[in-house]
Structure 1
Amino acid sequence: MRQHQVVLLPGDGIGPEITSVTRLLLEAVSKKHGFQLIFEQHQIGGSAIETNGTPLPEATLSACKKSDSVLLAAIGDPKYDTLPREKRPETGLLELRAGLELFANLRPVKIRPALTSASTLKKEVIEGVDLLVVRELTGGIYFAKPKGRIKTNTEERAFNTMSYCTSEIDRIAKVGFELAKQRKGKLCSVDKANVLDVSQLWRERVEILKQQNPDIEVNHLYVDNAAMQLVKDPRQFDVLLTSNLFGDILSDEAAMLSGSIGMLPSASLGSKGPGLFEPVHGSAPDIAGRNLANPLAMVLSASMMLRIGLKETKAAEALETSVDKVLSAGFRTKDLANESCTELGCEEIGNELLKAL
Structure 2
Amino acid sequence: MLRNTITKSLSRSPIPLVGARNASIAADIFLPLKYGGKYTVTLIPGDGIGAEVTESVKQIFKADNVPVEWEQVDVSGLGASTDGFKESVASLKKNKVGLKGILHTPVERSGHSSFNVALRQELDIFASLVLIKNIPGVETRHSGIDMCLIRENTEGEYSGLEHQSVPGVVESLKIITKYKSERISRFAFEFALKNNRERVTVVHKANIMKLADGLFRKTVQDMAAEYPTLKTNDMIVDNASMQAVSYPQQFDVLVLPNLYGSILSNIGAGLVGGPGLIPGCNMGREIAVFEPGCRHVGLDIKGRNQANPTALILSASMMLRHLGLDSHANRISKAVYAVLAEGKVKTPDLKGTSTTSEFTKATLDKMESML
Whether TM-score is above 0.5 comes out as yes
74 and 185 in structure 1: CA distance in 2 versus 1, 3 angstrom threshold:
same
Query: For the residues of structure 1 that align with 2:122 and 2:288, how far apart are their CA atoms?
Result: 11
Note the 1:124-135 alignment, pairs <5 A: 126-135=142-151
**CA deviation after TM superposition for structure 1 residue 354, in Å:** 0.8
55 and 262 in structure 1: CA distance in 2 versus 1, 3 angstrom threshold:
farther
Note the 1:77-156 alignment, pairs <5 A: 78=106, 81-86=107-112, 91-115=114-138, 117=139, 119=140, 121=141, 126-143=142-159, 145=161, 147-151=162-166, 155-156=167-168
Note the 1:289-304 alignment, pairs <5 A: 289-304=303-318
TM-score (norm 1): 0.87
Give the match for residue 160 of structure 1.
172
Note the 1:179-328 alignment, pairs <5 A: 179-181=191-193, 182-196=195-209, 197-272=211-286, 274-279=287-292, 280-308=294-322, 310-328=323-341
Structure 1 or 2: larger helix share?
1
Please list every run of 5 or more consecutive structure 2 residues that lacks an aligned counterpart in the other structure.
Answer: 1-35
Checking the alignment, whether the CA contact within 8 Å between 2:132 and 2:148 is kept in structure 1 is yes
| Equivalent position SS for 1:344 | coil
**CA deviation after TM superposition for structure 1 residue 333, in Å:** 0.2
RMSD between aligned residues: 1.7
Give the match for residue 73 of structure 1.
101
Question: 1:6 and 2:41 equivalent?
Answer: yes
Query: For the residues of structure 2 that align with 1:28 and 1:346, how far apart are their CA atoms?
Result: 17
Query: For the residues of structure 2 that align with 1:221 and 1:302, how far apart are their CA atoms?
Result: 32
- Which amino acid in 1 is paired with 2:354? L
Checking the alignment, whether the CA contact within 8 Å between 1:188 and 1:218 is kept in structure 2 is yes
Query: For the residues of structure 1 that align with 2:330 and 2:111, how far apart are their CA atoms?
Result: 40
Deviation string 1:185-232 (CA, Å, 9 cap, x unpaired) is: 211111111111211111211121111110111000000111011111
Query: For the residues of structure 1 that align with 2:134 and 2:77, how far apart are their CA atoms?
Result: 32
Give the match for residue 3 of structure 2.
none
Please list every run of 5 or more consecutive structure 1 residues that lacks an aligned counterpart in the other structure.
Answer: none
- Which amino acid in 2 is paired with 1:299? I
Question: 1:174 and 2:186 equivalent?
Answer: yes
Q: Which among 50, 60, 72 is matched to residue 41 of structure 1? A: 72
Query: For the residues of structure 2 that align with 1:143 and 1:56, how far apart are their CA atoms?
Result: 22
Note the 1:325-344 alignment, pairs <5 A: 325-330=338-343, 331-337=345-351, 343-344=353-354
**CA deviation after TM superposition for structure 1 residue 162, in Å:** 1.6
Give the match for residue 63 of structure 1.
91
Checking the alignment, whether the CA contact within 8 Å between 1:77 and 1:283 is kept in structure 2 is no
Checking the alignment, whether the CA contact within 8 Å between 2:102 and 2:116 is kept in structure 1 is no
Query: For the residues of structure 1 that align with 2:160 and 2:297, how far apart are their CA atoms?
Result: 26
218 and 55 in structure 1: CA distance in 2 versus 1, 3 angstrom threshold:
farther
Query: For the residues of structure 1 that align with 2:132 and 2:311, how far apart are their CA atoms?
Result: 11
Query: For the residues of structure 1 that align with 2:328 and 2:111, how far apart are their CA atoms?
Result: 40
**CA deviation after TM superposition for structure 1 residue 326, in Å:** 0.6
**CA deviation after TM superposition for structure 1 residue 68, in Å:** 3.7
Query: For the residues of structure 1 that align with 2:285 and 2:91, how far apart are their CA atoms?
Result: 19
